[in-house]
Amino acid sequence: MNKVNSLKTKLTPIALAFIACSGHAASNLDTMVVTANSTDTTISDVAATMWVVDQAQIEKEINTGADLKVALGRLIPGYDFGGESRTNYGQNMRGRSALIMIDGVSLNSTRSISRQLDSISPFNVSRVEVLSGATAIYGAGASGGIINIITRKATSNETKIELQVGGSSGFNTSEDVNKNVAIAISGGNEKLQGRLSASYESNGASYDANGDMIMPDITQTDMQFNETVDILGNVEFKPDQNQKISVTAQYYNSEQDTKYTPYIGAYLSEVTSSNDITISDDLALDEQPSTERMMLNIQYNNNNVLGHSLLAQAYYRNESMQFFPFPSFDAYNSNGYYYLYGASVQETEVIGAKVLLSKQINNIELNYGIDASTESFTADWRVYDISTALTSGGTSFTQTDSVQRYPNVDTQKIGAFSQATWEVNQDFSLSGGMRFQYISHEIGDYTGISQQLVYGDTADEIEGGTTHYTEWLANLSGIYDLNAEQQIWANFSQGFDIPDPAKYYGNGTYSGTTLVSSISVADNELEGVTTNSLELGWRLAKSKIDLQFAAYYSLSDKTTSYDSSTYAIVVNDDQKRIYGIEGQVNYHFTNEWYAGIQGHLIKSETKTNGSWSNLATETASPSNALIRAGYDNYAYGADLQLQTIANYDDDDGGEINGYSLVNFSSYYTLPVGTVSFGIQNLLNRDYYTLWSQRAQILYAGYNESLFGFKGEGRTFAVNYNVEF
């Protein structure tokens, strides 16, 4: 834990506008935040709940055996605890979706596939900057907040080599071993610096608290027997004191190679039964679940352009996501209905650019700019021989065909924004801004999967088309210094989201080749969702104690849900409100001993027929809390934490069963390098993950045990890090 001496932490104004008020955890107020070079400002001038999770904090969580999404769930008070799967579905911020970025490049797409945190190795993360709550500055997709992952870069002119090796295990079987190795080289001179890194992780099987292998996930897929490669390079060139050019390139590949899968019984006899499904080691599948991503990010900064500071950015992102074969009930032929087995492969390509100008005019700071992007989404469905799949109980797959899974979606976005901060006096400042957002979706024609397979081109198409959205978003805030050590603030901000068009359009009912009814652009245009958010906050920073608390209330004009039979998006006019309290307190007993507590108390409701009721369990966020205590003298240290999730019930009988986990991490500095040791789930608690409990609701009608993804039992981790 860092000591806090002042609220005055520097934050660049371009960072404020560009990533919409990047934040600090209360315990990290003395951390420098440099998203872009420009005139310095202070974090104490920003009226918002802000957190910064630094590299040391991330490493402390990773050293327990956690992955990045689990670590961030423990470190960001308003962010839900993460599961141990590949997906971060339902891991909300303040009960709503979060915009996740790497160095300011969005990982969110029009087709909302929840793999944004299957995106980067923690070895390549310098810090994570977070804004809680809706924001009008960045645009669509950030109604819950923004998480900006800042990558590691060269830190000195000297050549430096970083090496990390480690592993984790619950010591259940010989397959219960995870391994990781990473290396990086960085250096340069005053004008040119760079860093190149390569990280490799290999996972084995995962076991629950009873020593049983965790059920493989054939829905959103998991990380068992998974190999991950992350190659990241960055070059920064400073031709003079006012200019900087930064180029970052990344290749990320996370791919499963397993022989294990659920055995669902011959001819899928167990798929709808109440019997416990067993795990088979006879999986025969050539193309297994994976996430592959390439990204290029170029930024240019100039501190003196017609009296302004300039940030110009261009980026490219290309990703492919493969899923596991899953049985479907809705296929048919001349003999009636039958099972269909397929796995989707979804591809997204994004090109974008942003320009931002910042200028100080007396006691007013002005930021304004534009951003634009174009995105292309396609999805295929690999079809597998049904006889082979059925007779093997869902363990053997031979691809026979490939058809279109969703309508093609091409998206164009253009946004213009401005933000001004007025320092009224030395204790009080006001900030406000506007954003104009234009979004266009071009939806391709589409034919249902069953009709493609049975009738080919003779079946009717569901007509596509173009739909447009224009939205004005506003924000207004004020912050007041009570004294040199504490502040209060209030803000109002708006967010805007568009539900997943690929899962909304292209749904139809057929009679043979004839389309009877459908959801098309012409007849059922998808509506966006606007969220208004209010927040009151207080932060305090003293020599021994630092804290940050905020109470918030957010109201949306619509509610989205999923059709339980088709998994299509459903949008209705029922309002949704989410309100709560989010905060963190850290206390330093001495220079070495510390303790902290953080929590998020949340209430989520939707208004139906004039009355408020609890939001559906499959999307609602439960309250959570975390307590930690530790010792750190910078040569060695240890940290013990208790994390707990509360129960949650909706008004339709859905429920989430909460649980508590104890985790431990420690480190010791050797003459050369540092060794760390950690234990995840120290008390070996038996529980079902949040994703498991949500999946059992989302996939109602299937055998519940197929989604019995238990959390990992007691797991030991050891890592060695060295720099030379």
pLDDT at 23 exceeding the cut of 50: no
Cα angle 96-628-4, degrees, rounded to a multiple of 5 = 85
Beta bridge partners of 249: 233, 296
Give me 399's structure tokens: 């691809």
Alpha-carbon span 506 to 67, nearest angstrom? 36
Q: Tell me what the mean pLDDT of segment 567-571 comes to.
A: 71
Note whether residue 152 is domain-resident: yes
Beta bridge partners of 128: 53, 149
Query: What pLDDT is recorded for position 17?
Result: 40
Q: Which residues of 159-197 are buried (b: 16+ CB within 10 A; e: fewer)?
A: eeebebebbbbbebeeebbbebebebebbbeeeebbbeb
Alpha-carbon span 626 to 97, nearest angstrom? 22
Q: Tell me what the mean pLDDT of segment 688-701 comes to.
A: 91
- To the nearest whole number, what is the mean pLDDT of the chain? 89
pLDDT at 74 exceeding the cut of 60: yes
Spatial contact of 377 and 346, defined as CB atoms under 8 Å apart: yes
Region of residue 383 (left: phi > 0; alpha: psi -120 to 50; beta: else): beta
Query: What pLDDT is recorded for position 62?
Result: 92
Note whether residue 627 is domain-resident: yes
Note whether residue 713 is domain-resident: yes
Alpha-carbon span 49 to 583, nearest angstrom? 9
pLDDT band at 679 (very low <50, low <70, confident <90, very high): very high
State pLDDT tens for residues 308-356: 999 999 999 999 999 999 988 655 444 555 578 999 999 999 999 999 9
Give me 287's structure tokens: 């193309």
Spatial contact of 497 and 143, defined as CB atoms under 8 Å apart: yes
More confident residue, 288 or 450: 288
Note whether residue 3 is domain-resident: no
Spatial contact of 564 and 695, defined as CB atoms under 8 Å apart: no
Residue matched to tokens 């993360």: 125
Query: What pLDDT is recorded for position 571?
Result: 79
Q: Which long-range contacts (CB under 8 A, 24 or more apart) does 171-177 make?
A: 171/716, 172/205, 172/207, 172/211, 172/713, 173/205, 173/207, 175/204, 175/205, 176/204, 176/205, 176/206, 176/207, 177/204
Spatial contact of 548 and 536, defined as CB atoms under 8 Å apart: no
Alpha-carbon span 300 to 292, nearest angstrom? 27
At residue 335, φ and ψ (nearest 5 deg) are -95, 5
Alpha-carbon span 499 to 502, nearest angstrom? 9
Alpha-carbon span 518 to 520, nearest angstrom? 6
Query: What pLDDT is recorded for position 29?
Result: 41
Alpha-carbon span 329 to 338, nearest angstrom? 6
Query: What pLDDT is recorded for position 340?
Result: 84
Q: What is the CATH number of the domain that holds 89?
A: 2.40.170.20
| Reported pTM | 0.92
Query: What pLDDT is recorded for position 661?
Result: 97
Region of residue 286 (left: phi > 0; alpha: psi -120 to 50; beta: else): alpha
Note whether residue 61 is domain-resident: yes
Cβ partners under 8 Å of residue 611, min gap 6: none
For the chain, the domain total comes to 1
Note whether residue 382 is domain-resident: yes
Query: How many other C-beta atoms are found inside a 10 Å radius of the C-beta of residue 543?
Result: 10
pLDDT at 6 exceeding the cut of 80: no
pLDDT at 31 exceeding the cut of 60: no
Spatial contact of 531 and 556, defined as CB atoms under 8 Å apart: yes
Cβ partners under 8 Å of residue 389, min gap 6: 325, 327, 339, 341, 396, 397
Q: Which residues of 68-92 are buried (b: 16+ CB within 10 A; e: fewer)?
A: bbbbbbbbbbbbbbbbbbbbbbbbb
Cα angle 172-174-180, degrees, rounded to a multiple of 5 = 100
Note whether residue 5 is domain-resident: no
Query: What pLDDT is recorded for position 526?
Result: 87
Give me 2's structure tokens: 């860092």
Q: Tell me what the mean pLDDT of segment 477-483 comes to.
A: 94
β-bridge pairing 674-680 and 660-669: antiparallel
Alpha-carbon span 621 to 94, nearest angstrom? 8
Alpha-carbon span 189 to 524, nearest angstrom? 59
Note whether residue 158 is domain-resident: yes
Query: What pLDDT is recorded for position 453?
Result: 86
Q: Which residues of 313-349 are buried (b: 16+ CB within 10 A; e: fewer)?
A: bebebebbbbbbbbbeeebbeeeeeebbbbbbbbbbb
pLDDT band at 653 (very low <50, low <70, confident <90, very high): confident
Query: What pLDDT is recorded for position 32?
Result: 41
Helix (H, G, I), strand (E, B) or coil at 323: coil
Q: Tell me what the mean pLDDT of segment 491-508 comes to.
A: 89
Alpha-carbon span 210 to 533, nearest angstrom? 44
Alpha-carbon span 124 to 162, nearest angstrom? 11
Range of the domain at 585: 10-723
State pLDDT tens for residues 658-673: 999 999 999 999 999 9
Least Cα distance to 451 among 398, 516, 531 occurs for 516
Polymer length in residues for the chain: 724
Spatial contact of 129 and 102, defined as CB atoms under 8 Å apart: no
Query: What are the angstrom distances between the C-alpha of 337 and each of 16, 266, 331, 333, 382?
Result: 56, 18, 6, 6, 20
Spatial contact of 71 and 202, defined as CB atoms under 8 Å apart: no
Query: What are the angstrom distances between the C-alpha of 719 and each of 265, 335, 663, 680?
Result: 41, 59, 16, 14
Alpha-carbon span 320 to 81, nearest angstrom? 26
Alpha-carbon span 555 to 533, nearest angstrom? 7
Query: What pLDDT is recorded for position 566?
Result: 60
Query: What pLDDT is recorded for position 609?
Result: 86
Lowest mean pLDDT among 13-27, 121-135, 235-249, 271-285: 13-27
Query: What pLDDT is recorded for position 7?
Result: 55
Alpha-carbon span 311 to 307, nearest angstrom? 13
pLDDT band at 559 (very low <50, low <70, confident <90, very high): confident
Rg (the chain; Cα; Å): 25
pLDDT band at 15 (very low <50, low <70, confident <90, very high): very low
Least Cα distance to 551 among 628, 626, 491, 617 occurs for 491
Q: Tell me what the mean pLDDT of segment 384-396 comes to.
A: 93
Query: What pLDDT is recorded for position 467?
Result: 93
pLDDT at 60 exceeding the cut of 70: yes
pLDDT at 34 exceeding the cut of 50: no
pLDDT at 36 exceeding the cut of 90: no
State pLDDT tens for residues 154-207: 987 889 999 999 999 999 999 999 999 999 999 999 899 999 999 999 999 999
Spatial contact of 537 and 49, defined as CB atoms under 8 Å apart: yes
Lowest mean pLDDT among 4-8, 541-545, 696-700: 4-8
Q: Environment class of residue 426 by beta-carbon count within 10 Å: exposed (0-12), middle (13-18) or buried (19+)?
A: exposed
State pLDDT tens for residues 77-117: 999 998 888 998 889 999 998 999 999 899 999 887 889 99
Q: Tell me what the mean pLDDT of segment 248-267 comes to.
A: 96
Lowest mean pLDDT among 265-274, 419-428, 576-585: 265-274
pLDDT at 30 exceeding the cut of 70: no
Lowest mean pLDDT among 77-86, 206-215, 242-251, 548-557: 77-86
pLDDT band at 16 (very low <50, low <70, confident <90, very high): very low
Q: Tell me what the mean pLDDT of segment 366-377 comes to.
A: 94
Spatial contact of 713 and 207, defined as CB atoms under 8 Å apart: yes
Query: What pLDDT is recorded for position 257?
Result: 97
Name the amino acid, one letter, at 55: Q
pLDDT band at 69 (very low <50, low <70, confident <90, very high): very high
Lowest mean pLDDT among 101-115, 538-552, 621-635: 101-115
pLDDT band at 3 (very low <50, low <70, confident <90, very high): very low
